[in-house]
Structure 1
Amino acid sequence: MNCQNNLLITGASGFTGYHACKHFSDSGFNVTAISNKNSYTSKKINWKCCDLTDKASVKILIKKTKPQYVLHLAGQNHVGQSWIEPVHSLEVNSLSTAYLLDALRHENPSCKIVVTSSSLGFDPTSMSTFNNPYGLSKTIQSLIAQSFAVLYDMKVVIAKPSNLIGPGFSKGVCAVFAQKIVEMEKDQKDKPEHVLQVHNLNNQCDFLDVRDAVSAYETLLLKGKTGEIYNVSSGKRRSLEEIVKKLKEIALVDFEVRSLLKDALEKPARIEPTGLINLGWKPSIPFESSLRDILNFYRQKNNGS
């Protein structure tokens, strides 16, 4: 086994983590996958269970695994939940990152680390930009990561992904739409009229296939500049109306679309992946292919396969 190729992936049982484990193991990395739930067995991946909010457990984990690379995906990623448990979000997103970096500082300071933050972070110099506890926790996480890069000369890179989509269990809007459409397809004989209700068709976001995002993380692990923040995105805004229209085209059932709100929202700023493109990365999966793969994933799960 080549110890110089040891990669630790946190949050491995999550939506992105699943794809990351597959991608990096297929690429020849020796993957240790970390989950705070149950550990699993795999011929190609070494699964371990660890609570990243427990400082002592994190130290033991790093001492035993001695990774040369770390992809830190673990976190609390639900804005609504952050309002209910703000301190928990700070612990999971911010404090666990500090524990992980500090353990690496002691055991292997030359390790290359990609910390996945969020495009929903705030400007820490302006309190007017702080509008939810989730964004606060991810902003602090980014500051911690950058600080360790500067203060301890560690090889830390920050990735800020946009809305990731693709096959797999996700709480994202495309997955929610797909699940509802698959349910309509299954019930179309018994219920001839179907309605997909959308909060606001005018909402716009940047959507990127999770598999392209994982490819971007590999680029950052190998080529990312220490202390830099990279946008992981498509660079294109899409409205929910455009998404629903494409889903209607590839769905196996016809349905009516109802928007709860009619007013247009301000267009968000484009999230350009300029830094990543300069490193040689570019997205490769067409948006419609991503939507088709999401639908097919939930069709298979609906059929019990």
Structure 2
Amino acid sequence: MKSKSKLLITGANGFTGQHACNHFSKQGIDVIAVVRNKNNAKINNVKVECCDLTNQTSVKELIYKVKPEYILHLAGQNHVKESWVNPIMIMEANVMSSLYLLDALRTEHPSCKVVIVGSALQYDILQDKYPPHPYSLSKTLQSLVSESWSKLYNLDIIIAHPNNLIGPGHSKGVCSLIAQEIVKTENEMPAKPITISDPCIHRDFLDVRDAVKAYETLFKYGNNNEIYKIASGKSHSLGQLVSKYQSLSPKEVPVTVNKSNTKEAPIRVDVSKMKALGWVPGISFETSLKDILTFYRQLEDQKD
């Protein structure tokens, strides 16, 4: 990526989007942040464009106006529970928005290089007949559409499958939820104990800042129509997560851990394709947790 190249980032107001805008703007990239409502934009020092990505005409006008060299497509909905309640909304946000974006590139700017950020929760259509939930179906269809448009119309599209992203910033992930309650406890405020039903469940947690660097690597060296798994390559149980947090706080961590007789095997995510491109994660699990706590402690201090 050359300095001053135009990079369009969708979902710029989100957890990963804010980190991506900050990272790429510091690299001298001309970042255009796409948000649904400019009045709610949380990004500084970058250009902001307002667009409803579920509106085909608006998306086409955006691409015609900006003509970016690169697009990082982060926008969408990632709530599994919400997908059961409103599956059509999930399909529109994750599938149709991607399709409108890619088809706008087909007609208006086919030379653009795109990284579509999918999900580790999509299912394998060759092994499983049905998805576990509508969200999984939506992200699976998003990948299928992206692969198909790349092949059918010779578009430069890469698909990234990140695992559980953590780090400083507003997030609805378990690491952030626990950190918020820890900070309440440290400030003698009422906290809602979080229940972990099975401490033996394993997750591969990756710092969002490492994920953004992975996306940069894909822009530079990623191969067209390839899928890349992005993860730390390390497995941590939820019980280990609670223990780590306990070592970082002088107060009792407000978490209820249920006893479990299950023994879940550690997760092993194959990130060899990313390593072959020269990317390796650089932020440790403990550092991520420290930074999450610092973020929420500073937020609380700002209220005083």
| TMscore range, shorter length | over 0.9
Contact 1:19 1:214 in 2 (8 A): yes
Q: How many angstroms apart in 2 are the aligned matches of 1:254 and 1:298?
A: 17
Cross-structure match for 2:216:
218
Matched residue, 1:144: 145
The letter for the 2-side match of 1:11 is: G
Aligned to 1:131: 132
Residue 7 of structure 1 pairs with residue 7 of structure 2: yes
Query: Which amino acid in structure 2 is aligned with residue 31 of structure 1?
Result: V
Give the residue type in structure 2 aligned to 1:5: S
Q: State whether residues 33 and 48 of structure 1, in contact with CA within 8 Å, keep that contact through their aligned partners in structure 2.
A: yes
Question: What do the CA deviations read for 1:170-204 (whole angstroms, capped 9, x no partner)?
Answer: 0001001101111111117xx8x996532221111
1:191-202 mapped onto 2 (5 Å cutoff):
197-202=195-200
Cα offset, 1:303, TM superposition: 2.0
RMSD: 2.1
Of the candidates 270, 280, 285, which is equivalent to residue 272 of structure 1? Answer: 270
Identify the residue that residue 24 of structure 1 maps to in structure 2.
Answer: 24
Percent of aligned pairs sharing the same letter: 47
TM-score, normalised on structure 2? 0.93
- Please say if residues 181 and 254 of structure 2, whose CA atoms lie closer than 8 Å, have aligned partners that are also in contact: no
Alpha-carbon separation, structure 2, partners of 1:19 and 1:31: 12
Give, in whole Å, the separation in 2 of the partners of 1:134 and 1:42: 27
CA–CA distance in structure 1, aligned partners of residues 3 and 236 of structure 2: 42
* Structure 1 Cα separation of the partners of residues 133 and 206 of structure 2: 23
- State whether residues 185 and 254 of structure 2, in contact with CA within 8 Å, keep that contact through their aligned partners in structure 1: no
Mapped to 2, the partners of 1:98 and 1:30 lie a distance apart of 24
1:251 positional shift:
1.0
Matched, 1:154 2:152: no
User: In the aligned structure 1, how far is the partner of 2:6 from the partner of 2:140?
Assistant: 28
Work out the CA distance in 2 between the residues paired with 1:129 and 1:184.
Answer: 43
Report the Cα offset of residue 106 of structure 1.
Answer: 1.2
Determine the C-alpha separation between the residues in 2 that align with 1:3 and 1:289.
30
Letter in 2 for 1:215: K
Cα shift readout 1:246-295 (whole Å, capped 9, x = no counterpart): 11111131347532352325336421211110000000111111000000
List aligned pairs for 1:58-97, cutoff 5 A.
Answer: 58-97=59-98
Q: CA distance change for structure 1 residues 29 and 197 in 2, over 3 Å: closer, same or farther? A: same
Q: Alignment partner of 1:187: what SS?
A: coil
The alignment of Structure 1 onto Structure 2 pairs a total of residues equal to: 301
Aligned letter for 2:172? Answer: K
1:107 aligned residue: 108
TM-score (norm 1): 0.93
Structure 2: which 5+ runs fail to align?
none
Paired residues of 1:83 and 1:133 also in contact (CA < 8 A): yes
Which stretch shifts more, 206-215 or 33-42? 33-42
Find the aligned partners of 2:85 and 2:43 in 1 and give their Cα distance.
Answer: 36
Change in Cα spacing, 1:268 to 1:119, as seen in structure 2 (3 Å) is: farther
Corresponding residue number in structure 1 for 2:246: 248
- Find the partner of 1:262 among 253, 260, 275: 260
**Paired residue for 1:299?**
297
Q: 1:240 to 1:89 in 2, by over 3 A?
A: same
Between the aligned partners of 1:10 and 1:59, the Cα distance in structure 2 is 14
CA distance in 2, matches of 1:115, 1:76: 14
What amino acid is aligned across from residue 275 of structure 1 in structure 2? K
Instruction: Say if 1:279 and 1:258 are closer, same or farther in 2 by CA, change over 3 A.
Output: same
**Unaligned residue ranges in structure 1 (runs of 5+):** none
CA distance in 2, matches of 1:168, 1:53: 26
- Letter paired with 1:46: K
Q: Is the alpha carbon distance of 1:185 and 1:6 closer, same or farther for their aligned partners in structure 2, counting shifts above 3 Å?
A: same
Q: Supply the distance in 1 between the matched residues of 2:126 and 2:69 (Cα, whole angstroms).
A: 34
Question: Is the contact made by 2:5 and 2:30 (CA closer than 8 Å) also made in structure 1?
Answer: yes
